[in-house]
Chains A and B, each alone.
Chain A
Amino acid sequence: GQSLEQPSEVTAVEGAIVQINCTYQTSGFYGLSWYQQHDGGAPTFLSYNALDGLEETGRFSSFLSRSDSYGYLLLQELQMKDSASYFCAVRAGNQGGKLIFGQGTELSVKP
């Protein structure tokens, strides 16, 4: 089976750095994706890691360790607009078209 675990809530202040962790158990792993979803909005693709290491895109970075079945999303210089839900997701091993989402982490950024 497939399962992903991430914290349900994280709170941080503007300007700070926050890390959202994701651990996964899958049969057949291809890579880890991250999506952002604002309240009332649609999920938006943020990043994808297929190989170990850190991928940086502006204020957001994503890290993967395949040996530890672990990844994280790092958000720097937090802004109020970063308040949203963040989902990690993996492709199902035997059903390549299927993306399995974690339960989501609700990030609240305070002034």
Chain B
Amino acid sequence: DTEVTQTPKHLVMGMTNKKSLKCEQHMGHRAMYWYKQKAKKPPELMFVYSYEKLSINESVPSRFSPECPNSSLLNLHLHALQPEDSALYLCASSRAGESYEQYFGPGTRLTVT
């Protein structure tokens, strides 16, 4: 199984809402990533988890809160977002120490109104 799944596919939320994005992989990967991608731009790294511990936070605003409940799951909790946070949010996974070969999920298209 080389699939990374993400739910929901689309999300529309108001600036006062709280929502969560979910990501799951069953490849036995011990590194997981959250990216934000705007149209016609490369993926922009937000967080890296390695062995279920947060190893990189790219100075992401606290309205984004990641969580890694176990080695297969990754969540991104959203609260009080701004319209400029509207983007495609991608989850990815890789073998630990092999960030050069990442497997991406289909993403969640987030719109903040």
B102–A87 touching, CB < 8 Å: no
Q: What's the minimum C-beta distance from B39 to chain A, rounded to whole angstroms? A: 10
Q: Is A44 in the interface zone, CB < 8 Å from B?
A: yes
B107–A42 touching, CB < 8 Å: yes
A48–B101 touching, CB < 8 Å: yes
Q: How many A-B residue pairs have CB under 8 A?
A: 54
- Interface of chain B, helix or strand or loop or mixed? loop
Residues of B within 8 A of A87 (CB): 42-43
> With the chains together, A104 CA to B42 CA distance in Å?
6
B56–A48 touching, CB < 8 Å: no
Residues of chain A at interface, number, CB under 8 A: 22
Residues of A within 8 A of B50 (CB): 97
Residues in B lying within 8 Å of A, measured CB to CB:
31, 33, 40-43, 45, 48, 50, 55-56, 58, 90, 92, 97, 99-107
